[in-house]
Amino acid sequence: MKGNNRIVTMLLLLSTVISCGSVQQGNKNDVAAGSTVVAQHGQLQVIGTQLSNEKGDPVVLRGASLGWHNLWPRFYNREAVKWLAGDWKCTVVRAAMGLEIDDNYRDNSEFALQCITPVIEAAIDNGIYVIIDFHAHNKYTEEAKGFFTEMATRYGDYPNVIYEIWNEPDYFEWDEVKAYSEEVIGVIRSIDPDNIILVGSPHWDQDLHLVAEDPIQDVTNIMYTMHFYAATHEAWLRERTDDAITSGIPVFVSECGGSEANGDGRLGTEEWKTYVEWMESRKISWVAWSVSDKNETCSMLLPRASSEGNWSEELLKPWGKLARNSIRRGN
């Protein structure tokens, strides 16, 4: 046990969780214990540059990210997560808690927590991993410290949890992103000593060459995120990432898609296949964006899709079909 906060967490799970638009009841017995992904792999760790299970064997997680909680709250529910774990065979889901756009965490923290709580707890119940994503482009240091204090206190005893402390630093220098990350990591590690922490880098998580020149020191079980959109980002980004890994930087692709970088435009099917082959050959974990119904290429669902899963092929947009097939094939 990592601390005495398990009692608090169990009490939270036994209480009724008010989710976005519905009321859900926590249930720790949804999936038989030995049959789940987390039961098989347990506490994740970073060995060298490789994400590994508690036995030290390499692990590749593949899954889907929900869209911004404040834009698509209807998908933030237990049944949607259960469907992603069961039908899509996701071994990880990502809860993208928005810090910007209307009704964000800074303006309405209660609503944000009501959205992400059932997602996190459904992932735990279904025995898969979950990324708690501080989905920001700008820097909100104090908000991040408060948020991750609460998340680590609630869920730090669960091996399911992965913390993503800054989704995509846009126009920041690496020294500023690094200083922010060290501060937030310190807050998490004071409560949770070992769950994986994901660290972003400048220019939408693509400046891994800067990270390689000056990585964070003296902290275990951290990885650096890389984001790509296959119809825009060509071989240069794979080569840059390869160079960073060779330099000793552990990489986790916490967001990726088959569209152009703006989330729209054409679907680069062949480019996506190239990226998937590249990630698989290097045992890089990846999460596809996004479970949402926006009228754009990188949204996976049609607007008439149910909020709670049970998505037939006809309810999946072309990217949704491609992402689902890639996740199922890999897992």
Neighbours of 52 (CB within 10 A): 17
Q: State phi, psi for 133 to the nearest 5 degrees.
A: -100, 120
For residue 296, the Cα-to-chain-centroid distance in whole angstroms is 21
Question: 318-330 and 269-281 are packed helices; what angle lies between their axes, rounded to 10 degrees?
Answer: 20
The rounded distance, in Å, linking the Cα atoms of 186 and 72 is 31
The answer to whether 313 is a known catalytic residue is no
**Of the candidates 298, 51, 309, 276, the residue with the CA atom closest to the CA atom of residue 162:** 51
Catalytic-labelled residue, pool 142, 143, 150, 168: 168
3-state secondary structure of 66: strand
Pull the structure tokens for residue 320. 């949704």
Quote the CA–CA distance of 108 and 100 in Å, as a whole number.
Answer: 11
CA dist., res. 274 & res. 257, Å (int): 12
Catalytic residue flag (residue 255) = yes
Residue 260 contacts by C-beta under 8 Å, 6 or more apart in sequence?
Answer: 229, 231, 232, 266, 268, 297
**Catalytic choice (255, 271, 277, 280):** 255
Instruction: Tell me the catalytic residues.
Output: 168, 255
